[in-house]
Structure 1
Amino acid sequence: MLMPALAGALRCQRDSYLKVLQTKVVSCEKKKGFYAVEFEDTVLFPEGGGQPFDKGVILREKDDSETPVEVTDVQRDGLHAIHSLISPLEPGETVTMQVDWARRLDHMQQHTGQHLLSAVLDKKDVATVGWNLGVQMNYVELDRKLSTEEVQETQLDVNQAIAQALPITVDISGHDEEKGAMRVVTIGEMDRNPCCGTHLAKTSEIGSILLLHQVPNKGNSRLFFMAGNRVTDYAKSSHDRIRSVNAALSCQTDDTLSKIEQLQLRQRALLSQLKTAQQELAVQEAGKIAAILESKEVYVLYKPDYDMEYLRFVEKQLPDLQGTAILLCGQGPSGGAIIIAGKAVDKYAGLVKDTFKDAKGGGKGRWQGKVVRYNSGEVERALELNK
């Protein structure tokens, strides 16, 4: 009878650098949308300890086409590593599994980087109370916020420890019926911590760690960071974005901030001028509406390129109306706003809600609402009231 290796003593945990493993299928159970497969052993790490699961492929010896079966997820079920596959395997058959090495190496750089970062912070009496390995950025959750000087000092200290190429070892100290093999990760003489994850062999393989920003969280502080190849990728992408900004602003990097400040000042001036012009236009629009409503029961004003603020400008200029004004703005899937003011607000509020399927609003004496989206033909039907 085939017996699977248990969490804590999986081959991927005993040898983090193993990329290919020949093993046998213990079980294969059809689930909703996938097949849950357990192997005698695995080179694919099941999610745990803050580290995401590995991805990889399975090659079947009996498959002449050598088409790999994709492994989309690996999770722990108690002490068992359950692999999610897109195609079934037969219990007892021998297969070869290959890990997505780029993904694994990235996870090891981030995870080992977190251990080292937390060790450095611990010596500064700053405790790590949690952490997260993200797709681009990670964070360590600390029991307090670091000062700018502390962040700079920590950045220097952690990268000095990386340069020292400190050895990283994993010791198995026993076995827990619920957690599996008890593994302790040691970084030189700096740190000893229990961990189920896969780790690098020495700190120099982390490459570098970049500390980013902090975000408060329920009395704690999340210090964001990235490690390894992510640092160089981030530097390159950031450089490319800065170059694009330079081109758009027609300036050099050193002049970018001052150029943006100039544009902001100019924008504020233009917005002020626009607001004044809109108010002047609103006075004219209101006068036109008031004149029309002296002889008509209702009038619809539709301004597709304006917003609720403009509609309020118009409404403020409307005296005691003889009829009812329906003010609309916005267009298409972006929706817009509606104000109804005048004599027969309730009557036309009902008509508006019947006309505009996605209109919502209310009020007494005046009706104000929004349109989530304008559907085809709705505005045209409303404007027929002007005929």
Structure 2
Amino acid sequence: MAFQCQRDCYMKEFVTSVVSCCPAELKQEVNGRKETLKGFNVLLQDTILFPEGGGQPDDHGLIGEVPVLRVTRQGPDAVHFVTSPVEVGQEVRVTVDWERRFDHMQQHSGQHLITALADAMFGYKTTSWDLGRHRSTIELDTPSVKAAQLQELEEAVNEKIRSGIPVSVQLLDLSDPAVEKVRSRGLPDDHAGPIRIIDMEGIDANMCCGTHVTNLSHLQVIKLLGTEKGKKNKTNLIFLTGNRILKYAEKSYSTERSLVSLLKTGPDEHVEAVEKIQKSVKLLQKVEGFQLLSEAAALKFYPTHHNLKEGDNEFMNIIANEINTEETLVFLTVGEEKGAGLFLLAGPSGQVTELGPRILELLQGKGAGKNGRFQGKANSLARREEVEAFLRQRCKHHSSEEE
């Protein structure tokens, strides 16, 4: 038989009667742990709650005020698992979790459309599909899908959506010759009753027990996110449809705003900014024995110095920021020991202002300073040891003046 949810997929409430209510158990996984829940299996005269099947998860909803946690099909019956008993013979109002149902309708009809056009355009057959919680996947019988094909397929499915093509349901007897003309991956062993056909006018006719939209325009839009390597030389095509795209865009925009705040750059510069951070981190990891906080904190007005073969001005400033330069004079250079490079002098503002020009002279470079930082380009780092000796002498002189 066809349930009311299959005859009218848009019905949100339905009055029916309770046929039976028997003690039962439901095995489920909660936070990675398997649990067995005690409750009742309820059979109704008819139902608008879809039992899992055809790759589509079951519906959630209520029988009266009692939550329905699971709906499964057993032969011709839909079995509803609840934790509280309901009275046999009474009339009950059944309501469906419409947001969940409509999402399933959009994803399922979207899968049919993508499957039909992937076959018609490229000869790629669908061997299975998965309606996931956040994204759906179609397994295609091909080792790969080219990027150009993916784009062409996405444009084609969305053109069909914009055309507002109707989707209808037919119920045919298994002996009807028309059954042989429709696409199918086979019927379940316990199938009973007529064959249900989902017909997208002029596109596809397919055996299916699931719930679907009545017009492709209700899909809103389809986004093909890409492909992944599947099992046994197959390809998994990942897609979103309808309201999932709105949620995806909202989440992406929220992430984008957070990155703008963290990286202090516009969205178009996020990748470049992260690449620079990654480069700086890698360089920091290469600096062997450079103990920024513990060693620097023990030095007061005494220079700490280090030469890095790779890096840039931003990288040197990152290092200087990790040191209390109000009490420590830091001299950093980047480049080969006898070639051109970059330098940074950071420390107490007065000392930096006094010593910066002399360092510039020794390194034959160009640069400027303010707010306790003096940095620039060095034409030659060959006299670096002279700079270090000069800084040690000046800091020793400074310390004896304080005493």
Q: Is the 8 A contact 2:72 2:78 kept in 1?
A: yes
In structure 1, which of residues 269, 293, 299 is the aligned counterpart of residue 283 of structure 2?
Answer: 269
Structure 2 stretches of 5 or more lacking a match?
26-37, 175-186, 295-403
Q: Which residue of 2 aligns with 1:157?
A: 156
5 Å-filtered alignment, 1:1-387, equals 6=1, 9-32=2-25, 33-59=38-64, 68-124=65-121, 125-144=123-142, 145-174=144-173, 178-180=190-192, 181-218=194-231, 219-273=233-287, 275-277=288-290
Q: Secondary structure at the match of 1:233?
A: helix
Q: Deviations over 1:253-277 (max 9, x none)?
A: 111111111111111100111x444
Q: Deviations over 1:166-192 (max 9, x none)?
A: 010111111588312211111011101
- Supply the distance in 2 between the matched residues of 1:214 and 1:169 (Cα, whole angstroms): 30
Q: Secondary structure at the match of 1:172?
A: strand
- Cα distance, 1:214 vs structure 2: 1.2
TM-score by length of 1: 0.66
Q: Secondary structure at the match of 2:173?
A: strand
Letter in 2 for 1:121: A
- Supply the distance in 1 between the matched residues of 2:42 and 2:63 (Cα, whole angstroms): 11
Q: Secondary structure at the match of 1:95?
A: strand
- Supply the distance in 2 between the matched residues of 1:235 and 1:20 (Cα, whole angstroms): 31
Letter in 2 for 1:50: G
Q: Which of 179-188 and 162-171 deviates more?
A: 179-188
- Supply the distance in 2 between the matched residues of 1:269 and 1:109 (Cα, whole angstroms): 49
Q: Secondary structure at the match of 1:231?
A: helix
Aligned residues: 263
Q: Secondary structure at the match of 2:69?
A: strand
TM-score by length of 2: 0.63
- Supply the distance in 1 between the matched residues of 2:118 and 2:160 (Cα, whole angstroms): 12
- Supply the distance in 2 between the matched residues of 1:12 and 1:139 (Cα, whole angstroms): 24
- Supply the distance in 2 between the matched residues of 1:178 and 1:164 (Cα, whole angstroms): 38
- Kindly name which structure, 1 or 2, has the bigger radius of gyration based on alpha carbons: 2
- Cα distance, 1:78 vs structure 2: 2.0
Q: Is the 8 A contact 2:6 2:210 kept in 1?
A: yes
CA RMSD in angstroms comes to 1.5
- Cα distance, 1:222 vs structure 2: 0.5
Letter in 1 for 2:106: Q
Letter in 2 for 1:69: V
- Cα distance, 1:249 vs structure 2: 0.5
Q: Is the 8 A contact 2:18 2:91 kept in 1?
A: yes
- Supply the distance in 1 between the matched residues of 2:238 and 2:56 (Cα, whole angstroms): 16
- Supply the distance in 2 between the matched residues of 1:89 and 1:174 (Cα, whole angstroms): 35
